[in-house]
Amino acid sequence: MKKLIFAILILLLLIGLSFYSRINANNLPALKEASYYQKLDSKTVQCQLCPRRCVITDTKTGFCGVRENRDGVLYTLVYGKPCSVHIDPIEKKPLFHVLPKSFSFSIATVGCNLRCKFCQNWEISQARPGEVRAYNLTPRQIVEEAKKSGSRSIAYTYTEPTIFYEYMLDIAKLTKEEGLLNVMHSAGHINEEPLRELCKYLDAANIDLKGFSQKYYGELTLGNLDSVLQTLKILKQEGVWIEITNLILPGLNDDPQMIKEMCVWIKDNLGDEVPLHFSRFWPMYKLTNLSPTPVETIQKAKQIAMDVGLKYVYIGNVPGDPAETTYCPKCKKPIIIRKGYSIEEINIKDGQCIFCYQKIPGIWK
Ligand code: SF4
């Protein structure tokens, strides 16, 4: 009898352990060899994915925390492990000239190659694999779920898509086959070779141009302005639809001269039809000591951009502002009327303003 009870107890323990391990399997980092790295001497590798080019010794991870050297082989720890999966209006990316009023199946993993003091998603961007609950979803499953949801695109967003590059690329290849769009919201810190490979599958990108001085980038983000500018130029060369977001922080990157120089650079290098989104800062993460950006500051920035000659300038995080709407640059009539993320009216047909037939740039079908 004692033996029987003992056996039952062991059996229950094994069942419990199996259940526990299945639940926690979601928190275990997957292992897939990373692309874009070089083997150096004595089990040391150098990652070539982003401009940091981390030299990583055995058992250590790079700056982003999601690429690990194991015995001289670099692995991505987040392949198939999205921590955020949501169905968002594409306007939330923000992408205002891409399939308006459609949904975008949006994913992110933990990790980031920047350290922005104002990050809105720091709980996941600054987390490490295992610290945040993650799903197990293969690229095929992501695409199937996106189709089931009625989304017309898959968005790589919330954290920094560069650092889950292998996962994003495999999903993007399948997405193309299924006729959905691939869109990305990124801070643009990625090296040329992986970016050009990604561009074969990427339809649109919103790139954060966080400020227009290296001093600002260095102090507030630990990033590099030149890397972002190079990314923007490559996206343009490769024919990817670009929109730009500039988050304005009071007293830190709101200098009118700096904003003007940024707008001139955009016009000269990317053209006057690139939509520019000025976004209002709300106290966040390590900058809760700051006040929200005054609305007048954002409106002044918009006027500077319009004076430079940019045709599509928007204001974000100011609900109800008329600058959420797209106006035809020729007849000045509203052609996409927005209230927050909802679309009230679309007056574009076949890529043209319905009032004056002006061609409006973007991806409309
Ligand atoms: S992707 Fe990560 S590991 Fe690779 S260079 Fe950039 S920060 Fe370093």
pLDDT digits (tens, 9 = 90+) for 261-296: 999 999 999 999 999 999 999 999 999 999 999 999
Top mutation candidate among 163, 167, 190, 231 for ligand 1, by most atoms within 8 Å of CB: 163
Q: Which residues 6+ apart lie within 8 Å of 186 measured at CB?
A: 156, 160, 161, 162, 205, 206, 207, 208, 231
Gap from CA of 278 to ligand 1 centroid (Å): 28
Task: Decide: 223 in ligand 1 pocket, CB within 6 A.
Answer: no
**Protein residue closest via CA to atom 4 of ligand 1:** 47
Q: Quote the pLDDT of residue 15.
A: 38
Average pLDDT for residues 345-354, to the nearest whole number?
Answer: 97
Closest approach atom of ligand 1 to CA 36: 4
pLDDT single digits (tens) 220-236: 999 999 999 999 999 99
Task: Decide: 67 in ligand 1 pocket, CB within 6 A.
Answer: yes
Please report which helix (H) or strand (E) contains residue 228, including its range.
Answer: helix 225-237
Average pLDDT for residues 227-255, to the nearest whole number?
Answer: 98
Q: Which residues 6+ apart lie within 8 Å of 221 measured at CB?
A: 114, 115, 116, 117, 187, 210
Closest approach atom of ligand 1 to CA 48: 5
Gap from CA of 35 to ligand 1 centroid (Å): 11
Q: Which residues pair with 1 in a beta bridge?
A: none
Closest approach atom of ligand 1 to CA 66: 2
| Cβ-contact 77, 29 below 8 angstroms | yes
Distances (CA, A) of 108 to 11, 247, 254: 39, 21, 30
For the residues of 123-179, what is the DSSP string, one character each?
Answer: HHHT--BTTB------HHHHHHHHHHHT-SEEEE-SS-GGGGHHHHHHHHHHHHHTT
- Other beta carbons less than 10 A from residue 130's beta carbon: 15
**Protein residue closest via CA to atom 6 of ligand 1:** 50
pLDDT single digits (tens) 103-126: 999 999 999 999 999 999 999 999
Distance, CA of 48 to chain centre: 20
CA proximity to 285, closest of 120, 125, 108, 114 = 120
Q: Quote the pLDDT of residue 3.
A: 56
pLDDT single digits (tens) 151-176: 999 999 999 999 999 999 999 999 99
Gap from CA of 193 to ligand 1 centroid (Å): 14
Q: Quote the pLDDT of residue 31.
A: 87
Gap from CA of 46 to ligand 1 centroid (Å): 9
Q: How far apart are CA 137 and CA 80, in angstroms?
A: 5
Match 């925390």 to its residue by tokens. 65
Q: Quote the pLDDT of residue 42.
A: 85
Q: Quote the pLDDT of residue 12.
A: 39
DSSP state of 359: B
Question: pTM score > 0.85 for this model?
Answer: yes
Gap from CA of 253 to ligand 1 centroid (Å): 26
Q: How far apart are CA 92 and CA 104, in angstroms?
A: 9
Top mutation candidate among 33, 40, 46, 64 for ligand 1, by most atoms within 8 Å of CB: 64
Task: Decide: 78 in ligand 1 pocket, CB within 6 A.
Answer: no
**Protein residue closest via CA to atom 5 of ligand 1:** 53
Task: Decide: 113 in ligand 1 pocket, CB within 6 A.
Answer: yes
Task: Decide: 62 in ligand 1 pocket, CB within 6 A.
Answer: yes
Q: Which residues 6+ apart lie within 8 Å of 46 measured at CB?
A: 37, 38, 40, 53, 54, 55, 56
Q: Quote the pLDDT of residue 28.
A: 41
Closest approach atom of ligand 1 to CA 111: 2
Q: Quote the pLDDT of residue 27.
A: 42
Gap from CA of 19 to ligand 1 centroid (Å): 35
pLDDT band at 9, cuts 50/70/90? very low
| Cβ-contact 246, 278 below 8 angstroms | yes
Gap from CA of 287 to ligand 1 centroid (Å): 25
Judge whether residue 8 has pLDDT over 80: no
The gap between the terminal CA atoms of the chain, to the nearest Å, is 72
